[in-house]
């Protein structure tokens, strides 16, 4: 099993796979916070393309929060695992309660990372959804649902690692999936990294600021800055 040094290492390796996209000006990289942001930073810096966030949250089963019954994402995206819900006998009231709680957390993170600024435009863009790895695929499915609602040109996924079953499931949902390690013996995303520390809100904001600063530096003098000024540091 080939392990990544850390999330930045994984991002740099993904950026090499995406180097052919460097000349395209219609690409928008959407990172799933928190762990996807350090990965997306390296891709954005290498491709000289902007990075925005799309917050997705797992819907944990009450009392067993580590198990997902689905996920929701910024912009209204939702994915429910109906098999789990039926098998566990989870009521609609319980699902609504969990969705309400996680919606508040999405709103908190959106404000924390972006302040009062608007999200970047997705319509008619080639979107890359980036995370530090995929386990069940629930949060990525919710993110895909959110992006689809905004009529992008295409949707691609770029991740370091995923279980083979989830990889093949997601491959049917998007135009392209770039995954460096597809495993038949997947246990946890963290197993594939030498260093897998928790990413803080401050680290997320610093990563976004780093990409924004480089994006501004790479703009020609005559070009405006539309699309690069969404991040505010609080």
pLDDT of residue 230 exceeding 50: no
219: nearest Cα among 51, 52, 48: 48
Quote the percentage of the chain above a pLDDT of 70: 91
Angle between helices 201-218 and 36-47 (to 10 degrees): 10
Q: In terms of pLDDT, which residue wins out, 2 or 4?
A: 4
> Quick one: which of 106, 187, 113, 177 has its CA closest to 141?
177
What pLDDT score was predicted for residue 231? Answer: 32
CA distance 190 to 197: 9
Give the pLDDT confidence score for residue 73 in this predicted structure. 98
The domains found in the chain, sorted by start residue, are 7-54+113-216 (3.40.50.2020)
The residue whose two tokens read 């929701």 is: 72
Instruction: Evaluate if residue 226 carries a pLDDT over 90.
Output: no
pLDDT at 44 over 80: yes
Give the model's confidence band at 221: pLDDT under 50 very low, under 70 low, under 90 confident, else very high. Answer: very low
Q: How does pLDDT run across 69-79, given as a tens digit for each residue?
A: 999 999 999 99
| Mean pLDDT taken over the chain | 91
Q: What is the pTM of this model?
A: 0.90
60 band by pLDDT with thresholds 50, 70 and 90: very high
Give the model's pLDDT for residue 117.
81
Q: 90-138, pLDDT tens digit by residue?
A: 999 999 999 999 999 999 999 999 888 889 999 999 999 999 999 999 9
* Residue pLDDT, tens place only, 166-178: 999 999 999 999 9
> Exposed e or buried b for every residue in 84-120, given b needs 16+ CB within 10 A?
bbeeeebeeebbeebbeebeeebeebbeebbeeeebb
Question: Could you report the per-residue pLDDT of 199-212, keeping only the tens digit for each?
Answer: 999 999 999 998 88
Q: If 0-12 CB within 10 Å is exposed, 13-18 middle and 19+ buried, where does residue 143 land?
A: buried
CA-CA-CA-CA torsion sign (26, 30, 36, 41): positive
């Amino acid at each position: 099993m080939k392990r990544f040094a850390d999330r930045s290492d994984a991002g740099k390796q993904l950026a090499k796979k995406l180097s052919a996209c460097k000349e395209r000006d219609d690409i928008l990289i959407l990172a799933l916070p928190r762990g996807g942001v350090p990965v997306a930073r390296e891709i954005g810096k290498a491709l000289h393309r902007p990075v925005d966030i799309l917050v997705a949250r797992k819907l944990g089963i009450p009392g067993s929060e580590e198990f997902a019954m689905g996920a929701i994402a910024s912009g209204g995206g939702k994915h429910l695992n109906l098999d789990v819900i039926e098998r566990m006998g989870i009521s609609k009231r319980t699902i609504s309660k969990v969705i309400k709680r996680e919606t508040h957390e999405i709103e908190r993170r959106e404000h924390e990372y972006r302040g009062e600024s608007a999200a970047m435009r997705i319509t008619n863009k080639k979107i890359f959804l980036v995370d530090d790895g995929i386990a069940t695929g629930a949060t990525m499915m919710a993110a895909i649902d959110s992006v689809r609602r905004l009529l992008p040109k295409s949707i691609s996924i770029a991740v370091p690692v995923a279980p083979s079953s989830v990889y093949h499931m997601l491959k049917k949902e998007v135009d392209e999936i770039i995954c460096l390690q597809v495993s038949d013996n997947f246990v946890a995303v963290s197993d594939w990294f030498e260093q897998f520390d928790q990413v803080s809100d401050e680290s997320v904001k610093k990563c976004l600021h780093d990409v924004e600063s480089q994006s501004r530096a790479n703009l020609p003098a005559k070009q405006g800055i539309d699309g690069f000024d969404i991040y505010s540091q609080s």
